[in-house]
Amino acid sequence: MKYIFRIVLSVWIWCPVWAHAGKAEKIVTYLPVIEVQDKEVRKENRNVALTMSVDLSRARIRTQHTVALTPVLVSRDGKREAAFPPVVVDGGTRNRVYLRAQRLKSVELPPYHNDETKVVIRRRNGKEQTYDYTASLPYERWMLDGRVELREEVHGCVNCGSGESEEILLSGIIPEFIPDYRLATIAPEPEPVKVRAETRTARLQFRQDSYKIQPDFRNNRAELDTVSNSILLVKRNEDVKITGIYISGYASPEGSMAHNLTLSENRAKALAEYIRRHDDISPELIHVEWHGEDWDGFIRALDDYPQLLRLDRIRELIAQYPDNHDYCEREFRKLQPAKIYQRLLNEVYPPLRRNEYKIEYNVRNFDLQEARRMVDERPDLLSLQEMYKVAGSYEKGSVDYKRVMDAAARYFPDKPAVLNDRALDALGRGDTAEAIAGLEKSGEMAQQPVLLNTLGVAYARSGELHKAEELFRRAAELGSDEARHNLDHVRQVIDQL
């Protein structure tokens, strides 16, 4: 009895699996006794290669059967697939039919016996038989995180059965690479001596061709009081020390350039002397320069008079004779109607006659408590380093932290530390467009590896991977470890496109 059981078991193991669909057709599968070993899928440049060893040693293929084993790469969602070339295993009779059809060429080939097949193997039942399979497909991005299924089709004569079945060979093939882009911060640059300046304009009225200051002439008293109050406010501030007052004189175009250059000099010197005497400023602190006719200011001022008659002619003269302003001014006088030049004299020229003065001073350093107070009272007197210390004393992301960082951005908008932190904040909110815009307009970025790296991350996250790659490369060449890491990661992402 045991002997009979062993015979039955042996037959069951070595024979195909049979099932019945209806009463006539036999459903056949050999997959349970075909072993696939050493299976591997690799991405090789722009191809996907599959290698495996197909062991037929346990399979007893019926003489009339053809078994087609087709590896199929299926997408993660199952919606797309691509087939590798099949392995075809013939029983003895079926293989002879195939060989005869090959010779005769006029006889139809059995199923799967064509040029698309990887190999046709004649199964020699009872013997060890393996086939080392290697094939590849053109890579496409949908293949990431997919699977490989082995699909079997069994074909035979009318009465010897057929069938289809499948099994999963590999799952999660070519795992999608998820980059881990690294960012860095920039410490604010130290400011050993805090130099600040306030620039203002004094529009004093002088009698024609005169440079004598008359305090009671027209609006001069109010202008002079403004100058003195500006200086006094700085002098009274115990946190600062005046290091210089710089006065620049300008004239309007009427008259000759030589005359107006001298006039602007004398009027600037007159204001300097007034400040020295009236505001008790040491002479060595006062610096005077003069520029004569302010043609740049005149050209800008014309934008405020779009309805001025012959405006195009005025601009044309300026463009044609950039080095002969005296000629231009003479031509202005000839313009008709005469009210054109009168408008220039009465409306456009007067604001050009002025003295600009800059009060420059040094500011002492503040401790943390003082700096906290100064953020609200005089943030302009703080260094960026002091502002960052104040911000760091609050919880990151808090209202107070944001208030201080906003102040830093207002007073130090072009500093690398501020540019980088604002970009990091935008990236934290998922706003890559804001991060890119803020960094792209900066003139500081070219030699700042951290800024280049941050911009690279912004472009990478927005999908512009080749721009990101170039920025990471430049930053890495400037010594950024984060950029070297990111360059490797973005190239792996690009490779999977």
Task: State mean pLDDT over 371-378.
Answer: 96
Give the residue from 491, 468, 487, 465 showing the smallest Cα distance to 477: 487
Strand partners, 287: 246
In the structure, what pLDDT confidence band is assigned to residue 18 with cuts at 50, 70 and 90?
Answer: very low
In the structure, what pLDDT confidence band is assigned to residue 109 with cuts at 50, 70 and 90?
Answer: confident
How many C-alpha atoms does 416 have within 13 Å on its Cβ side? 19
What pLDDT, on a 0 to 100 scale, did the predictor assign at position 5?
38
Whether the per-residue pLDDT at 20 is higher than 50: the answer is no
In the structure, what pLDDT confidence band is assigned to residue 106 with cuts at 50, 70 and 90?
Answer: low
Whether the per-residue pLDDT at 363 is higher than 60: the answer is yes
Task: State mean pLDDT over 310-337.
Answer: 96
| Count of residues making up the chain | 497
Strand partners, 52: 133
Whether the per-residue pLDDT at 124 is higher than 90: the answer is yes
Whether the per-residue pLDDT at 11 is higher than 50: the answer is no
On whether the CB atoms of residues 156 and 456 are closer than 8 A, the answer is no
Task: State mean pLDDT over 333-337.
Answer: 96
> In degrees rounded to 5, what are phi and psi of residue 212?
-85, 130
SS3 491: helix
In the structure, what pLDDT confidence band is assigned to residue 138 with cuts at 50, 70 and 90?
Answer: very high
10 Å Cβ neighbour count for 110?
19
On whether the CB atoms of residues 348 and 220 are closer than 8 A, the answer is no
Q: Mean pLDDT score of the chain, rounded to an integer?
A: 92
In the structure, what pLDDT confidence band is assigned to residue 13 with cuts at 50, 70 and 90?
Answer: very low
Domains and CATH numbers, the chain: 17-173 (2.60.40), 195-361 (3.30.1330.60), 382-495 (1.25.40.10)
Give the span between the Cα atoms of 407 and 413, in whole angstroms.
Answer: 9
- For 395, the token pair is 């919880």
Question: Using one digit for the tens of pLDDT, what is the confidence trace for 45-56?
Answer: 999 999 999 999
Task: State mean pLDDT over 412-427.
Answer: 95
Provide the percentage of residues in the chain whose pLDDT is more than 90: 87
Element (H, E) at 396: none
In the structure, what pLDDT confidence band is assigned to residue 484 with cuts at 50, 70 and 90?
Answer: very high
10 Å Cβ neighbour count for 155?
20
Strand partners, 251: 293
Rounded to 5 degrees, what angle do the CA atoms 330, 333, 339 make? 165
On whether the CB atoms of residues 389 and 371 are closer than 8 A, the answer is yes
Beta-sheet strands, E only, within 324-379: 354-363
Strand partners, 43: 48
On whether the CB atoms of residues 204 and 224 are closer than 8 A, the answer is yes
What pLDDT, on a 0 to 100 scale, did the predictor assign at position 344?
97
